[in-house]
Chain A
């Protein structure tokens, strides 16, 4: 598959924006569900882009920058998965699996950038001591542009290389490896789930986890509820959480009420 200069430039710009957006700005443009569709549009295959974006997004759910941890980079991973799927015609799950090494590389890159950015802080100190507000602003803009540029250059290089050798790679991958990658890609979401559990789980909360599991099994068994299942379940979950919140705050009684303003006589 050959790409025009125009397409290469667009991929560069999309990556530049997404790289900055992963920590700043809307912090949602970079999500694979968005970048997948955008890359699909650029490369003329929106449908595959949507499919891969959605598949990759499921993997990253929960695999988010929680508590300052750096997950495998969703910007590089999501964009590369879409590029690989469209360029090589790989099945979406397999493309996601194949993109993981790129995501891990991106994770390493981000860690590196965050480390290299540390020395900048001493020059920021000097600016602050001199009340140099413009200097602080420039420093922040510079740091953002640097991050965007590094990502954009790397992805564009992969993209150009992928455009010419992608097909060769795809045909060279044996079936068992494709099946394996596909299965691994489909399982990656469990990492995200487990990380979420680790952050939130207390001893006394396992019941709520299994309740969600059980209710979801019942809900998805009904075909007509399969699509809105998560929303329905979220409503139930909200009800339970809200009820617990009321129980907790009312038990604490007066200690809580001085935070809010209650009307007299109630």
Chain B
């Protein structure tokens, strides 16, 4: 304790149970619980905010000033729970305070109740409600829908305040027995919430993960013969028929020919990709239709993205998520370290100073 002279007593002076707290006081405290973290600090965390929240109830319960001081003092000890579920702890603690239970008992119940709620609240709010509502409304916002922030706020706060007020009343009525009710199913509940949580994260990797390696690797060239058909006079046609035969495998791109080295007619492909035999057709009016082939050489690109997608779409987001998970879980990386890693990765991948082509 910071104070040397003040010692928190074990029992209250006035041991007569106080009258039930009225609905107005309960609601007032539920409202005040929104400011649980007002004076958050690393020494006592939410302690002063917790005390602030329950002051209306304590004032009603402890009409004896010494008891009020004792109650306030022990309620200013280290406190940390989930900010949205705190009213559950408030209800229980106040039902104990009202019955003037021993201070060590109240302290033990308070500590017992605040711990597990953190995990449940995280699972419920940060891991389920926020990812789902914010995920859906973010997409709406990106599409320019101005209602998105409002929808997010409405859903989030309806759930939040319904829980705050309902838990306050429910746990105050249940008193200590509520702890048993909760702890009986606590493990199963936390497990179910976690299952839903990891399931949703798996979904988010797909729906939100847009990272793709858009790198095209040059992978040689393809050679081909493209067919061209022209109508020329008989005289001009001789220029074509007189052309030397070529080896299509070695001839330079742009070379025109109708026959191969052995004098056989070439087969070229026309604009629609159909095979056409090169040759000359007499149209009978002094004109001839000449079909010749042009050697083409097109660069072929190997698309990293297409290849990865044939393994499984969204492979890059999945791998990045798993890599980060591995670093966080097995190497105790902080999220900040992960952010820095992605920063470096993003910038290196973009080819800093034009040193290499961007992969993004």
Q: Please give the residue numbers on chain A whose beta carbons come within 8 Å of chain B beta carbons, in ascending order.
A: 23-29, 31, 33-34, 36-38, 46-47, 50-51, 53-55, 57-58, 61-69, 71-72, 92, 97, 100, 104, 107, 114-118, 120-122, 124-131, 133, 136-137, 139-141, 143-144, 174, 176-177, 179-191, 193-202, 205-206, 208-217, 219-221, 227, 229-231, 233-234, 236-238, 240-242, 244-245, 248-249, 252, 255-256, 258-260
Contact = CB atoms under 8 A, between A and B. Distances in A.
A245 B134 contact: no
Given A100-B343, A129-B73, A179-B350, A187 B199 contact: no
Interface in B1-53: 1-3, 6, 34-45, 47-49, 51-52
Interface residues of B, number: 122
A78 B342 CA distance: 18
Nearest to B135: A230
B289 to A, nearest CB: 47
Given A23-B37, A121-B47, A259-B185, A54 B317 contact: no
Nearest to B184: A259
Given A54-B142, A183-B349, A230-B136, A195 B328 contact: yes
Contacts of A124: 39, 47-48, 51, 76
Nearest to B196: A241
Contacts, number: 412
23 contacts: A23-B37, A24-B38, A24-B49, A26-B34, A61-B130, A66-B126, A68-B45, A92-B142, A118-B43, A121-B2, A140-B35, A143-B48, A144-B38, A176-B347, A176-B354, A180-B349, A193-B325, A194-B325, A205-B195, A229-B207, A237-B199, A245-B188, A259-B185
Contacts of A186: 210-211
**Binding site of B, secondary structure by majority: helix, strand, loop or mixed?**
helix
**Binding site of A, secondary structure by majority: helix, strand, loop or mixed?**
helix
A186 B347 CA distance: 12
Contacts of B254: none
A184 to B, nearest CB: 3
Interface in B117-157: 118, 122-123, 126-127, 130-132, 134-142, 144-146, 148-149, 152-153, 156-157
Contacts of A231: 132, 136
Given A46-B146, A212-B203, A230-B136, A54 B122 contact: no
Contacts of B265: none
B65 interface: yes
A34 B157 CA distance: 13
Given A115-B41, A140-B48, A62 B187 contact: no
B189 interface: yes
